[in-house]
A and B are shown apart, each in its own frame.
Chain A
Amino acid sequence: MNVTAHTTAGNAYTFGFLDEYAKKEVRRAVLKAIAIPGYQVPYASREMPMGRGFGTGGLQLTLSLIGPDEVIKVIDQGSDDSVNAVNLRQFIEMMCPGVSTTTKTAECTLIQSRHRIPERPLTAAQIIVLQVPYPDPLVVVEPSEDKRKTMHGEADYSRLLVKLYEDLVTFDEITLSHRYPTRINGHYIIDPSPIPRWDVPKLNDSAALILLGAGREKKIYAVPPHTQATPLAFNDVPFRVEDFRDAAGRRRACARCGCMNSFLDEFVSDSGDKTYQCSDSDWCDEQLLQIERLRRKSA
């Protein structure tokens, strides 16, 4: 990603980097995506000053939504501090003068995220934008996009269900740790982006609007607030989130904050020992702060 080259080129850029025509195109697609929950609305994705795969689809959504009074949070796999998140945040700050950035989920109005939905429940005053590499869950069973579009329209997912069932029976959970196919409002099945299964239930009856953007595939789709989102499941293979139990069956805790109900990342030390920590860094900080507060109270 080359941010400086584009900002030193002059003041030619409008607020939000994209020209107003590009924004209008995205905005019209966003409203249709909300009106047709789970449907992948095509749009003319623009070239962005970074490689596709850096979240250009999500970024175009963010830049079409964002206003000068926005408070934005950018996360990559739960972390505000990864190189990817920092680069995207700096790009947004430079292209959108006046916008505030935060790492605190509680304070933001707009979140751009790759691979996670924050642990803290989002509110009606927030919108989350998820970056999507592969928007179409039917691609594993049907190579022709025209045919996939018809199948989506008819909600004909029988082949996908068969494939999913075979995978679940053959490979257990492993092949479906991410991108778990989820049915929206009883019709379209979406790829919810590479969020872990842990985050899939957060799509259901969400207070916040959830927008998903795929830059390479040029698709925008949405899960509106208070909309049914049902992960696919079978009588003998129910949907389960990751359980993070150790060999003795005890729920692992975050090594940093002690939290026992968050999604954990596994770290392997040089000596080969495994430790676990909250994937959501803001959540982890919040838990530590609370412990600190309680300590001070009791002292």
Chain B
Amino acid sequence: MNIESIWQAAVQQQVFRELVETFSRPGVVRDLTQWIGNATAHRAVLATLMDGEATLADPHGSIAAPDWRLLQAQRGAPETARYVAIDGSRTPDFRPALGRLESPEFGATLLIEIIAIGSGLLSLDLAGPGIDGQRELRLEGLHTDWLLHRADWVSGFPLGVDLLLCDATCIVALPRTTRIAIS
């Protein structure tokens, strides 16, 4: 039997380290190509983070049935799930969990698929923890309403949401502490 690489522990360890890198240095684009074979970055991240303890919402129906079985995640509503898979071209029509003052880690991680990371018409200036001064990030295919809503969702630190954007092969994180200006 041929197991796709993203379900293998050794690959998940590598993908996790890429996640650590991009969350530690928001706006730094990490290319997962060498680890994930023909799988998408989005599926690789889900395979790395999900198990039976995690709640995952899929409001845009982007996760295939066979993947659900392997992910083992509990299905949740986008308003309450710890992880939400999102098609970035759509407009936001729900408010994700922002956590509680005593437990801000319940603020959701939004896994947003877009067309391109590192190039594109949308240009962001980033600042905050993990960024030495400023960093520029270019994106293609993210509906800007996500950024407008996010600005509201993260306005009461420590509450907030953490974004992980994925294109076919790359990931980039925008945790709740990152200050984003659309340029």
Contact of B129 among A31, A124, A226 (CB under 8 A): A226
Name the B residues within 8 Å of A205 (CB-CB): 132
Name the A residues within 8 Å of B175 (CB-CB): 34-36
Interface bits A24-40 vs B (CB < 8 Å: 1, else 0): 11011111101111010
Question: Cβ of B24 and Cβ of A28 under 8 Å apart?
Answer: no
Question: Cβ of A31 and Cβ of B19 under 8 Å apart?
Answer: yes
With an 8 A cutoff between CB atoms, is A225 at the interface?
A: yes
- For the complex, what is the distance from the CA of A208 to the CA of B126, rounded to whole Å? 19
Question: Cβ of B53 and Cβ of A21 under 8 Å apart?
Answer: yes
Name the B residues within 8 Å of A30 (CB-CB): 20
Contact of B102 among A65, A149, A185, A224 (CB under 8 A): A149
Name the A residues within 8 Å of B23 (CB-CB): 31, 34-35, 224
Question: Cβ of B101 and Cβ of A185 under 8 Å apart?
Answer: no
Q: How far apart are B154's CB and chain A's nearest CB, in angstroms?
A: 10
What's the dominant secondary structure at chain B's contact region? mixed
Interface bits A49-76 vs B (CB < 8 Å: 1, else 0): 0000000000000001111100000000
- For the complex, what is the distance from the CA of A24 to the CA of B158, rounded to whole Å? 23
What's the dominant secondary structure at chain A's contact region? mixed
With an 8 A cutoff between CB atoms, is B38 at the interface?
A: no
With an 8 A cutoff between CB atoms, is B169 at the interface?
A: no
Name the A residues within 8 Å of B59 (CB-CB): none
- For the complex, what is the distance from the CA of A41 to the CA of B19, rounded to whole Å? 17
Q: How far apart are B56's CB and chain A's nearest CB, in angstroms?
A: 12
- For the complex, what is the distance from the CA of A42 to the CA of B105, rounded to whole Å? 9
Name the A residues within 8 Å of B5 (CB-CB): none
Nearest B residue to A35 by beta-carbon distance? B175
Name the B residues within 8 Å of A246 (CB-CB): none
With an 8 A cutoff between CB atoms, is B147 at the interface?
A: no
With an 8 A cutoff between CB atoms, is B176 at the interface?
A: yes
Q: How far apart are B157's CB and chain A's nearest CB, in angstroms?
A: 6
**Chain B interface size range:** 35 or more
- For the complex, what is the distance from the CA of A37 to the CA of B176, rounded to whole Å? 10
Which residues of B (113-151) have their CB < 8 Å from a CB of A? 129-132
Contact of B101 among A15, A68, A150, A228 (CB under 8 A): A150
With an 8 A cutoff between CB atoms, is B49 at the interface?
A: yes
Question: Cβ of A225 and Cβ of B24 under 8 Å apart?
Answer: yes
Q: How far apart are A128's CB and chain B's nearest CB, in angstroms?
A: 12
Interface bits B1-41 vs A (CB < 8 Å: 1, else 0): 00000000110111011011001110000000000000000
Q: How far apart are B93's CB and chain A's nearest CB, in angstroms?
A: 24
With an 8 A cutoff between CB atoms, is B80 at the interface?
A: no
- For the complex, what is the distance from the CA of A198 to the CA of B105, rounded to whole Å? 31
Interface bits A152-189 vs B (CB < 8 Å: 1, else 0): 11100000000000000000000000000000010110
With an 8 A cutoff between CB atoms, is B162 at the interface?
A: yes
Question: Cβ of A27 and Cβ of B48 under 8 Å apart?
Answer: yes
Q: How far apart are A172's CB and chain B's nearest CB, in angstroms?
A: 33
With an 8 A cutoff between CB atoms, is B104 at the interface?
A: yes
With an 8 A cutoff between CB atoms, is A195 at the interface?
A: no
Name the B residues within 8 Å of A29 (CB-CB): 105
Name the B residues within 8 Å of A127 (CB-CB): 20
Question: Cβ of A67 and Cβ of B130 under 8 Å apart?
Answer: no
Question: Cβ of B130 and Cβ of A224 under 8 Å apart?
Answer: yes
With an 8 A cutoff between CB atoms, is A103 at the interface?
A: no
Q: How far apart are B46's CB and chain A's nearest CB, in angstroms?
A: 11
- For the complex, what is the distance from the CA of A227 to the CA of B102, rounded to whole Å? 22
Nearest A residue to B174 by beta-carbon distance? A35
Interface bits B37-60 vs A (CB < 8 Å: 1, else 0): 000000000001111111000000
Query: Among the interface residues B9, B102, B173, which one has the most CB atoms of the partner chain A within 10 A?
Result: B102
Interface residue ranges, A against B (CB under 8 Å) = 14-16, 20-21, 23-25, 27-32, 34-37, 39, 41-42, 64-68, 124, 127, 146, 149-150, 152-154, 185, 187-188, 205, 209, 224-228
Q: Which 10 A-B pairs have the closest CB atoms?
A: A153-B101, A35-B175, A149-B102, A227-B129, A32-B105, A35-B162, A34-B23, A226-B132, A224-B130, A209-B24
Pairs A–B under 8 Å by Cβ, sample size 7 = A24-B49, A24-B50, A31-B162, A37-B129, A64-B16, A149-B103, A209-B20
